[in-house]
Amino acid sequence: MERVNIVETNLEFGELLEREYTDAIVIHHTGNPTDDDLSAEEIHQSHLNQGWVGIGYHFVIRKDGTIERGRPEWAIGSHAYGENSHTIGIHVCGNFEIGAPTEIQLGKLAHLIGNLCADYDIPTDRAHIVGHRELMPTACPGKNLFSHIDDIVGNANWYRYGAEKTSQTQNNEIPEVKIWNFFKSKKLNDYAVAGIMGNLYAESGLISNNLQNSYEILGSDEEYTAKVDSGEYSKETFVNDGAGYGLAQWTYFARKAALYDFAKQKGASIGDLDMQLEFLWAELLDSYVSLVNALMDAQSVKQASDAFLLDFERPADQSEGQKARRAGYSQEFYEDYAGKAGDANMSEKRYNTVDELPDWAKWTIERMIEQGIINGDGAGLDLSKDMLRTFVIVERMLRR
Ligand SMILES: [Zn+2]
C-alpha cells in the first residue's frame, strides 16, 4: 500500500500517556467562525494556551492537502471527550458548516485513514471511522465534511486494498446502483426490481457482507467475512451457526451451504456483492420459478414486493405492517431508479424538514435531532435520500 506523506513538526509536549489500543478514527474540523487554515503549530499554541499539554489531534490536514504531524501517534490524544483512550484524531482545516473541504483534503484524508486502518488493523467502515458529532453533540466536523464520510471510507478502502477488493464500498458504483442494473439486465420490469430491492434492503440494508446483528458476538461484518474466507471459520461452522448473512440474510443451513460452495467455485469472497447477486438469481431460477413468473408479470411495486416477501424471504413476521414497510422501501427504489435504465445517477431530492422525510427515516432522524447529532431547527436538514439510508443503517448497527 502506498503511504501518504506526513510532515514532521517536532512539537514539544508536556507529559503524554501511551494509548494501549486503537480501534477507531475520529474526524474533526476547525470550526472557527472564519474558515481558517491553521497549521499544527498554531493549533498546538492555542491548545497550550488552554492549559493542555499540546495539540490534541494526531494529524492536521491543511487546505492544500499537506498532512502535518500533531500529537505523537502513540499518545492518547485530546479531541473526543470520553473516547480519547482508543481513538486517533484527525483535524481537517476549515469551518465545514460554512465552507467546504478541498478535493485534495478529502483525498488525503481518505489516504491517511486507509494507512491507519491497515496499521492498527481497524475495519475500514462507518462503525470505526466517525465524525466527532457521532460521539457527542457538536457540529464538528461540519455538515459539508460530514456528508462526505461515506465516500471517504469507500476511498480509504481503495487505498488500503486496491481497486479489486472494493466492489462493496467503492464510490463510483454504489451497491444499490449495481443491484438495480443487475436485475434489469435479467429483463425484469421496474416494479419487480424495486420489489426485490425493497426486501433485500429490509434484510441487509443492501450490505452484502452483513452479518445478522444479533450474531455479532461472532465478530463484525468484516471479521466474520474474513474468517469464512480464510477458512478459520469452517464451512460446517458457517453453515450451522444459525446466523443470517449477506444481501438476503441467508440463514437456513442448506442455503448457506449452497452460497458457500458458489463463492468457492467463483473464487470470490463470501461477502462479494457480484457473487451474491449471481447466486441469488440462480437460486430464484432453480427453486422459485413461480415467483420469477409472478415478478415478470408484476403490475405494481406492492404486488412485486409482497410476492418476494411471501415466496422468497418468508420471514417470521408476514403481517400487513411488515408488507407495507417493505413495499415502502420498494417504492423508494422505484422512484429513484425506474425508467433510468443503466443510469447511475442518484435522486437529487433533498429533505429539509422532518415532515418531508419518508416514513422509514423519520424515527431515526428525529432521534438524531433530539440528541443534537444533526441540527433540526431553522436552516433546514439538507439530507439526500442516500444520506437518510446511511443514517438508518448506522443507527440500526449502533442499536444492536
Ligand atoms: Zn471535533
CB burial class (10 A; 0-12, 13-18, 19+) of residue 21? exposed
CA distance 398 to 400: 6
Q: Where are the alpha helices (DSSP H) in the chain?
A: 40-49, 103-120, 143-146, 149-161, 175-185, 190-204, 221-230, 235-240, 253-266, 273-287, 289-296, 301-308, 320-337, 359-370, 385-399
Nearest Cα to Cα of residue 380 among 356, 346, 364: 356
C-beta separation of 90 from 57 below 8 A: yes
Query: For residue 233, how far is its CA from the centre of ligand 1 (angstroms)?
Result: 39
C-beta separation of 57 from 46 below 8 A: no
Per-residue pLDDT of the chain (400 residues; tens, 9 = 90+): 789 999 999 999 999 999 998 999 999 999 888 888 999 999 999 999 999 999 999 999 999 999 999 999 999 999 999 899 999 999 999 999 999 999 899 999 999 999 999 999 998 888 899 999 999 889 999 999 999 998 898 888 878 876 444 444 443 467 888 899 899 988 899 999 999 999 999 999 899 999 998 888 888 999 999 999 988 899 999 999 999 999 999 999 999 999 999 998 888 899 999 999 999 999 998 888 889 999 988 999 999 999 999 989 887 888 888 899 899 999 989 988 887 644 433 445 678 888 888 777 788 888 888 887 787 765 678 887 777 877 777 776 665 4
For residue 172, the one-letter residue type is: N
Ordered by start, the domain boundaries in the chain are 24-165, 175-337, 350-399
Query: For residue 164, how far is its CA from the centre of ligand 1 (angstroms)?
Result: 33
Query: For residue 84, how far is its CA from the centre of ligand 1 (angstroms)?
Result: 12
Query: For residue 138, how far is its CA from the centre of ligand 1 (angstroms)?
Result: 7
Query: For residue 348, how far is its CA from the centre of ligand 1 (angstroms)?
Result: 29
Query: For residue 91, how far is its CA from the centre of ligand 1 (angstroms)?
Result: 8
What cell numbers appear for 252 in the block? 437456513
Nearest Cα to Cα of residue 397 among 127, 25, 123: 127
Query: For residue 351, how far is its CA from the centre of ligand 1 (angstroms)?
Result: 25
For the entire predicted model, the pTM comes to: 0.47
Domain at 175-337: CATH code:
1.10.530.10
Query: For residue 220, how far is its CA from the centre of ligand 1 (angstroms)?
Result: 26
Architecture of the domain made up of 24-165: 3-Layer(aba) Sandwich (3.40)
Query: For residue 366, how far is its CA from the centre of ligand 1 (angstroms)?
Result: 23
Query: For residue 150, how far is its CA from the centre of ligand 1 (angstroms)?
Result: 18
Query: For residue 141, how far is its CA from the centre of ligand 1 (angstroms)?
Result: 6
Query: For residue 229, how far is its CA from the centre of ligand 1 (angstroms)?
Result: 37
Count CB-CB contacts under 10 A for residue 230. Answer: 8
